[in-house]
Structure 1
Amino acid sequence: MKAIKLHGRRLNDVLATAPFAVLPLGSVEYHGPHSPLGTDFFLAEGFADAIDPALNPLIYPTVPFAPCPGKTQDYLGTVSVRPEVFLSYLTDVVEGICRQGIRNIVLLNAHDANMGPSRTVAEAVTGRYKDASFLIVNWWQMVAVPFAEEQGLFQGTAGRGHGGPYEMSAVKAFYPELVLVGEEDAELQPPPPLSPLPYVLVEGTPQGWAGYTGSIRQTSLQAGQTIVAEAVKNMNELIRHWLLMRRQEYAGEEITR
């Protein structure tokens, strides 16, 4: 159910029974000549709409603007919000949802630079609302890294990367007409990983970069549909487990009372 479509006379009943709220997080950011500025917006909104309606989510409007990294800020089309402004804004939005009586909130993210702020806000708000629970879902983490190789979706690459075939195939699954790879669009390869272990490397001008990276000619609707189906399946399973855990917590509280 879309929160902004609720009429005032229905608010009390809906807010009293909604098991959780969903706040999608996107960005307006350059993703290459082949990709829409709203790439992250469309992905966040698309995955929010793909949540199983049987779970009865209350879906809030997708947040369109966000902090963007230094490596994309200067590209035409990117609109970046200062991190401190975004933290305050997101905190106000989330606390506004909590004040409606909702204590279970999914922050459904499609923009890498939203990961840190989302965690920071969730940690801060749970300090004030002790009974709140935040599930932070980054859509690309809903698919195991080896999945693309196992499915034979891409050749010689995992496809992941900003504006790369993994991300843009997923956008194509939602909006096929918005991803257009031309013959003049360069394919760019990032350097090999520094370690098989997880790490974070932040650079203003990384190698293999022109506002995007990757073997973009491998972008395809079929790959996107496969990736999105896997992500949606795993996302819904995760949300179901989370809600079950929360119901068990509530039941335990009632028993102890």
Structure 2
Amino acid sequence: MHVIEVHGRELEGVKAEAQFAVLPLGSVEYHGPHSPLGTDIILAQGFAEHVAAELRPLIYPTVSFTSCPGKTRHYPGTISVRPSVYTEYLTDIVEGICELGLRNIVLLNAHDANMGPSRTVAEAVTGRYPDASFLLINWWQMVSLEFAEQEGYFKGTTGRGHGGPYEMSAVKAFRPDLVTVQPTDPDLTSKPALASLPYILVEGTPQGWNGYTGQISQTSFEAGTAIVEEASRNMNRLIRSWLENRKRKDGEDG
């Protein structure tokens, strides 16, 4: 159910029915000549629609404007909100959801730069609402890094780079009309990982970068469909486990 379609007289019934709120997080950001500026909005909304109905979500509109990293903010079409403004804005939104009476909130993210603010907001709001629980989901982490290559869709392009074949194939699965890789669009090769362990590297102009990265000629609807199906399956499994854990906790507290 979408919250924007709920009438005022229906609120009490909806609150009783919904198990959790879903707040999709996107961006308006350059993703290369082959990709729409609303890439992250399409992905956030698309995966929100793939949350299983039997889990009883209440879906909120996508937060579309956010902070964008230095490496994309100067490319045409990118709209970047100051991080402090975005953090305060997101705080007001999730506190409004809590004030409605919902305490289980999924922040369903499709934009890398939203990860830090999302965690910051969740930590702050749970201080004011101790009974609240936030599940932060980055859709691209719902599929193993090697999945698409192991399935035979990509070759030598396992990364999930910005505007690359992994991300844009997923967009193509939702909106095949909006991803158009042309023969003149160059494939780009990013530098190898610095280590096998997790790390964060922030650069204004990374190697193998022109507002996007990756072997974009490998983008395909078939790969995107497989990625979206796998991500959705794992996402719903994660949400179901979270809700079951919440019920157990509520039972113990009761």
Place the TM-score, normalised by the shorter chain, in its bin: over 0.9
CA deviations on 1:90-139 (whole Å, 9 max, x unpaired) are 00000000000100000000000000000000000000100000000000
Root-mean-square deviation (Å): 0.7
What is the Cα deviation at residue 145 of structure 1? 1.1
What residue is the counterpart of 2:226 in the other structure? 226
Contact persistence 2:17–2:56 (CA under 8 A): no
One-letter identity of the residue aligned with 1:30: Y
What residue is the counterpart of 1:122 in the other structure? 122
What residue is the counterpart of 1:112 in the other structure? 112
- Residue 227 of structure 1: SS of its match in structure 2? helix
TM-score, scaled to structure 2 = 0.99
Task: Name the % identity.
Answer: 67
Q: Could you tell me how far apart the structure 2 residues matched to 1:115 and 1:177 are?
A: 28
What is the Cα deviation at residue 17 of structure 1? 2.7
Runs (4+) off by over 4 Å:
none
1:178-193 aligned at under 5 Å gives the runs 178-193=178-193
1:139-218 aligned at under 5 Å gives the runs 139-218=139-218
One-letter identity of the residue aligned with 2:44: A
- Residue 213 of structure 2: SS of its match in structure 1? coil
1:36-55 aligned at under 5 Å gives the runs 36-55=36-55
What is the Cα deviation at residue 16 of structure 1? 2.6
One-letter identity of the residue aligned with 1:21: A
Q: Could you tell me how far apart the structure 2 residues matched to 1:131 and 1:239 are?
A: 18
- Give the gaps of 5 or more residues in structure 1: none
Contact persistence 2:187–2:215 (CA under 8 A): yes
Contact persistence 1:16–1:101 (CA under 8 A): no
Contact persistence 1:30–1:75 (CA under 8 A): yes
Aligned in 2, Cα 1:159/1:200: closer, same or farther, shift over 3 Å?
A: closer
CA deviations on 1:49-88 (whole Å, 9 max, x unpaired) are 0000011100000000010000000000000000000000
What residue is the counterpart of 1:241 in the other structure? 241
- Give the gaps of 5 or more residues in structure 2: none
What is the Cα deviation at residue 159 of structure 1? 4.4
> Are residues 1:137 and 2:158 paired?
no
What is the Cα deviation at residue 184 of structure 1? 1.2
Count of matched residue pairs: 254
Q: Could you tell me how far apart the structure 2 residues matched to 1:83 and 1:154 are?
A: 35
Contact persistence 1:27–1:64 (CA under 8 A): yes
